[in-house]
Amino acid sequence: MFIDGAWCAAEGGRAFLVANPATGEKIADVPDGGRADAARAIAAADAAFAGWAGMTAYDRSRILYRAWELMIARKVDLARTMTAEQGKPLRAAANEVQYAADFLLWYAEEAKRVYGETIPAPRGDQRFIVAHQPVGVVAAITPWNYPSSMITRKVAPALAVGCTVVLKPAEATPLSAMEVFRILEEAGLPAGVANLVTASDPAPVGEEFLENPLVRKLTFTGSTAVGKRLARGAAESLKRVSMELGGHAPFIVLKDADPEHAAKGAALVKFLNTGQACISPNRMFVHRDIVEPFLETLTGRVERMRAGNGMEDGIAIGPLVGEAAVAKVERQVADAAARGARVLCGGHRLMEGALARGHFYAPTVLADVTPEMLIYREETFGPVAPVIAFDDGDDVLAMANDTAYGLASYVYTNDLRAAMRLFEGLRFGIVGINDINPTAAAAPFGGMKQSGLGREGGHEGLHEYLETKLGGFSI
């Protein structure tokens, strides 16, 4: 763990094991932090706050910029660490490291652009000034599916505006987090400004984050169930919260779209990270007139995807994170098949040869999916593409919006009016129109409804870590 500028063991010397999800092999032992470690990290962050917030934005920017340079220089090494502990193919891991670095660069630049305002006052002798100040100590919790970028997406803006941070990464992927913190250390971050507490049991650390009065903000990325629990706990002392939670993205293909082009996009975005992405399409609504060519192209592409250890060349499908994840996918596919869905490819675990040692599920396409099926409502977080044909009379916008989630959505059409109507009508924080990757460090990312609160990335991402202060001056 990294607390107050020093790498250290957990109190009591406990450790937990990190394993490779593709091979089951042990990779490392990592300090198993608890509540006392979290408290020590929070105290260090609190002690460092005044000094860090008091530095100029230019000085903070320089450190973030240096961290960006280091991360780019180490891209290959970081990607290897990520593939080993998380399983995604090496090329995808390198792309993620690039995305993680993008946040360091973007917020190194934005640090210098935290502008205030003056407001015309109602009295002649009065002046109003609006200033933005860092909220204070930030507690951050991140998931395993994007082990580096989910960290920099929080830590970079928090540091840019002058906050100090304590991060608890996911149990499955602490090694990528350690690499990020090594970079921050080498970039010259003062002691205590960013602290890392690794843990196998998240609950005690989470409780300390919620109950410690020095923490002024909790930022969380993970499941909706845990997010709700944490938000309830944060309400007790009215800590500010940002929540990046689960999704159930619709992928709409209108009648005028090119079904083959749309199916290529669907294959790329659905099987990214083996379907373990919050923006992964979970219901593909395709107009009945073009559903057959769509399914044919999609199935053809999916059948060619090779599953295996992400360290090997040509692997498209890495392992799922663990046994529970495989069991969830199995349950959803069995339920869909029992209720009449057609399994066009996949539909089973992969157990041949070396695959038996990891958590592999065959990339799967389901046709004739209906609202009664589990997969129509539950986030899958696995490599299954559920396709639903819709007809002319169906209100596909209402069908897409019929979910408790509201993170990402996708539309394929060449009809400008239909595109605008869907862009405006979809109750989702992100709408990709003929675009399967509507994300960037410069753009606000986040969900509506039960997909979360707040936005990360862009200038919106800075304001999650700022208080607004009004000064009224009588002169």
Active site residues: 244, 278
Q: Is residue 415 classed as helix, strand or coil in its secondary structure?
A: coil
Q: Are 309 and 354 in contact (CB under 8 A)?
A: yes
Q: What is the largest CA-CA distance in the chain?
A: 81
Closer to ligand NAP by CB, 12 or 190: give it.
12
Closer to ligand NAP by CB, 76 or 225: give it.
225
Closer to ligand NAP by CB, 205 or 396: give it.
205
Q: Are 239 and 218 in contact (CB under 8 A)?
A: yes
Closer to ligand NAP by CB, 234 or 369: give it.
234
Q: How far apart are CA 53 and CA 169, in angstroms?
A: 24
CB of 281 to ligand NAP, least distance (A): 13
CB of 413 to ligand NAP, least distance (A): 25
CB of 75 to ligand NAP, least distance (A): 21
Amino acid (1-letter code) at residue 318: G
φ and ψ at residue 261, rounded to 5 degrees: -60, -45
The residues that bridge with 456 in the sheet, in sequence order, are: 445
* Centroid of chain to Cα 447: 11
CB of 468 to ligand NAP, least distance (A): 24
The residues that bridge with 387 in the sheet, in sequence order, are: 284
Closer to ligand NAP by CB, 144 or 412: give it.
144
Helix, strand, coil percentages for the chain (3-state, nearest 5): 45, 20, 35
CB of 311 to ligand NAP, least distance (A): 23
Residues found near ligand NAP in the complex (CB under 6 A) = 141-146, 150, 168, 170-172, 202-203, 206, 221-223, 226, 229, 244-247, 278, 379, 381, 407, 447, 452
φ and ψ at residue 400, rounded to 5 degrees: -65, -40
For 88-119, give the DSSP string: --HHHHHHHHHHHHHHHHHHHHHGGG---EEE
Q: How far apart are CA 474 and CA 214, in angstroms?
A: 33
CB of 378 to ligand NAP, least distance (A): 10
φ and ψ at residue 195, rounded to 5 degrees: -130, 145
CB of 451 to ligand NAP, least distance (A): 6
CB of 111 to ligand NAP, least distance (A): 22
Which of 74-86 are b and which e, b meaning 16 or more Cβ less than 10 Å from the residue's Cβ?
bbeebbbbbbbbb
Amino acid (1-letter code) at residue 69: E
Instruction: Give me 84's structure tokens.
Output: 């080993």
Closer to ligand NAP by CB, 273 or 309: give it.
273
Q: How far apart are CA 16 and CA 30, in angstroms?
A: 5
Closer to ligand NAP by CB, 220 or 412: give it.
220
CB of 100 to ligand NAP, least distance (A): 13
For 125-190, give the DSSP string: TEEEEEEEEE-SEEEEE--SSSTTHHHHHHHHHHHHHT-EEEEE--TT-HHHHHHHHHHHHHTTPP
Closer to ligand NAP by CB, 61 or 274: give it.
274
Tokens 């029992």, located at residue: 338
Closer to ligand NAP by CB, 226 or 387: give it.
226
Beta-strand runs (E) in 279-377: 281-287, 342-345, 364-367
Distances (CA, A) of 111 to 82, 230, 439: 28, 29, 21
